[in-house]
Structure 1
Amino acid sequence: MPVTQRIVPNIWCNGNAEAAGAFYGKALPFARSEVESRYPLEDLPEFQEHLAGAPLVVAVDVAGTKLRLINAGPEFRPNQSISLMLNFDPLLFEDGSSPGHSSAAARRSLAATWERLAEGGVVHMELGEYPFAKLYGWVEDRYGLNWQLMLTNPEGEPRPFVIPALMFGGAAQGRAAEAADFYVSLFKKSRGRSGIGNRYPYGVPTGPAGPGELAFGEFRIGNQWFIGNDDGSGQTPNFTHGVSLEVRCKDQAEIDRLWEALSADPEAEMCGWLKDRFGVSWQIVPSNVEELLERPGAYDRILGMKRLVIADF
């Protein structure tokens, strides 16, 4: 199901974004990758000179949902705080046979995807049957990106194949509902229906989570779904720049509005990046940022900016 995206997950890679993109293009169903932009050939700061001409951003399209891989250094790495849920809905895997056959096809695709992602990675929840799903598993792949794979009930309300999932633990413990309400309010003018979806509290104390905290929650920004849960294990690290959420803005006024509403840590502001009150990292950029970066000296100028100013490119 194609997704009209307002927000694009960006994944930090340690010099291997092109290889990671090629891997995801083969490991995931309905996926392909391409180099979207490259580092300039000259005028790079000393710490990036080895990246001259190398891919800067690699785009991965998974069933109509775009991800961007940022080719950088070892400063950050994705972790469990933001993962990507893959919904293996049997209706996506119709093979012209009965619904039972389509369910079998979805199971086969899920199992094959799991095997590819788990190779060289770390399994956090074994693939198997759980109270909430007939087939589910959580795996961290060889590049550090976390994935949740679930066989979806085709009789339920449809959801996209890929859904970003935010786990509020550590310093953000217990704030999943608050964050969802804030994000929906902030982006309420997005195209499509924004709002809160299903919410299921733990009901009883579970690890660091109180009974009213969310074992599962979801919210919608425009036509794009997100999951927001509170950590019940005590093992979820804080949010980092390893996975950030990118918003393309139509003009300077929109950049300014989102920046003022989201930025909560002046020390984290750099090159259009910010950190919000929950610790989640965002990139607030012009819709034509690639075109702007092609201007002479633009790459050097953006390194000196915090909030991006279109007129200064």
Structure 2
Amino acid sequence: MKNPIYPCLWFEGNAKEAADFYCNVFKDTKITDENPIVVMFESAGQKFMCLNGNPQFNMNPSISFFVVCETEEELMKAWNILIDGGSILMALDKYEWSEKYGWVQDKFGVNWQLSFGKLADVGQKFTPTLMFTENVHGKSEEAINFYTSVFKNSDVVGILRYAEDDHDVTGTIKHAQFKLNNNVFMTMDSGLAKGFGFNETISFVVECEDQGEIDYFWEKLTEGGEESMCGWLKDKYGVWWQIIPEILKELMSNPDKSQKVVEAFLKMKKFDINTLVNV
């Protein structure tokens, strides 16, 4: 199993504008592919998908991206661009975990946690951070154990729990790091955050080599969750995933087949590779 995992950001028809914006925010960032449905960009070797969707969902802080900035100049440049038209959730300041850190929701609604530090401390520049709130509050550790059981090359890096004087539920997760197929993720529980939770605006794409892998992830991740259309599913914690065949990009780039491929997968819940290849 190779199974690259990367985030998909749902925009309201302005995916290209958003991708261009992030190319300006973060160094070593470029658009790698685009079509009317999605725009792909890479930053620091990590892949992001920007989807042109409908205005039916609202982004929120339940999933944010922890960003390691190795110089203060890099951090300040990104911060100043991101706060323009955005909103500050945590002021840029010194905290116990960072000499300089701030949390901002940008003008498109995407949440970023910028932190001055060393890339080696995390292992990657951008780390998806899942906040477990409301009906899934307190289930962060259970989710970590579930995800690391599903994906290969996975392990728990570390868990820090709330103490009695932390103004949240003692014993629940204050901060945790874990790896799924060597991709770093972070989680936290929040009993204070209200009125938002996971939704379709940020999902995680899992590329599969063959039908067996698609069947495997579909079965595991829909357990207690919910099937949707076009390879989308919601797991039992409310986190959204897209289980797609890696050959899909090749099929979509074939002008003689792309439209038929789209027509075929629009009728599918779980992807059927054989059907797509033979349309």
Question: Would the TM-score normalized by the shorter structure come out above 0.5?
Answer: yes
> Which residue of 1 is the match for residue 245 of structure 2?
286
Structure 1 residues 203 and 5: alpha-carbon distance in aligned structure 2, compared to 1, 3 A threshold: farther
1:187 is displaced (CA, Å) by 0.6
For 1:141 and 1:124, locate their aligned partners in 2 and report how far apart those are by CA, in whole Å: 10
Does the aligned pair in 2 maintain the 1:265–1:275 contact within 8 Å? yes
> Which residue of 2 is the match for residue 47 of structure 1?
none
For 1:273 and 1:148, locate their aligned partners in 2 and report how far apart those are by CA, in whole Å: 27
> Which residue of 2 is the match for residue 76 of structure 1?
57
Partner amino acid for 2:8? N
For 2:195 and 2:178, locate their aligned partners in 1 and report how far apart those are by CA, in whole Å: 21
Partner amino acid for 1:201? R
For 1:22 and 1:34, locate their aligned partners in 2 and report how far apart those are by CA, in whole Å: 11
1:63 is displaced (CA, Å) by 0.5
The DSSP-based 3-state class of the residue aligned with 2:37 is strand
For 2:183 and 2:55, locate their aligned partners in 1 and report how far apart those are by CA, in whole Å: 30
Residues 85-125 of structure 1, C-alpha deviations (whole Å, 9 max, x = no match): 10113xxxxxxxxxxxxxxxx01110111000110011111
Does the aligned pair in 2 maintain the 1:12–1:77 contact within 8 Å? no
> Which residue of 1 is the match for residue 180 of structure 2?
221
Map 1:248-267 → 2, pairs under 5 A: 248-263=207-222, 264-266=224-226
For 2:16 and 2:3, locate their aligned partners in 1 and report how far apart those are by CA, in whole Å: 23
1:153 is displaced (CA, Å) by 5.1
Residues 33-66 of structure 1, C-alpha deviations (whole Å, 9 max, x = no match): 2443x2xxxxxxxxxxxxxxxx211112111111
Residues 190-217 of structure 1, C-alpha deviations (whole Å, 9 max, x = no match): 4xxx20012100022755x421111000
From 120, 124, 137, the counterpart of 1:173: 137
1:29 is displaced (CA, Å) by 2.1
2:102 maps to 1:121: no
From 96, 107, 130, the counterpart of 1:142: 107
Does the aligned pair in 2 maintain the 1:139–1:148 contact within 8 Å? yes
> Which residue of 1 is the match for residue 28 of structure 2?
30
1:176 is displaced (CA, Å) by 1.0
Structure 1 residues 31 and 178: alpha-carbon distance in aligned structure 2, compared to 1, 3 A threshold: same
Give the fraction of aligned pairs with identical amino acids, expressed as a percent: 34
Map 1:296-311 → 2, pairs under 5 A: 296-311=259-274
Q: RMSD of the alignment, in Å?
A: 1.8
Residues 247-282 of structure 1, C-alpha deviations (whole Å, 9 max, x = no match): 00010011001101101344x511100000100000
1:130 is displaced (CA, Å) by 1.3
Map 1:92-131 → 2, pairs under 5 A: 106-131=71-96
Q: What are structure 2's unaligned runs of at least 5 residues?
A: none
2:131 maps to 1:133: no
1:158 is displaced (CA, Å) by 4.6
Q: What are structure 1's unaligned runs of at least 5 residues?
A: 39-54, 90-105
Q: What is the count of residue pairs matched by the alignment?
A: 270
> Which residue of 2 is the match for residue 163 of structure 1?
127
Map 1:236-251 → 2, pairs under 5 A: 237-251=196-210
Does the aligned pair in 1 maintain the 2:68–2:118 contact within 8 Å? no
1:303 is displaced (CA, Å) by 1.1
1:223 is displaced (CA, Å) by 2.3
> Which residue of 2 is the match for residue 98 of structure 1?
none
Partner amino acid for 2:43? V
> Which residue of 2 is the match for residue 8 of structure 1?
6
Q: TM-score, normalised by structure 2?
A: 0.91
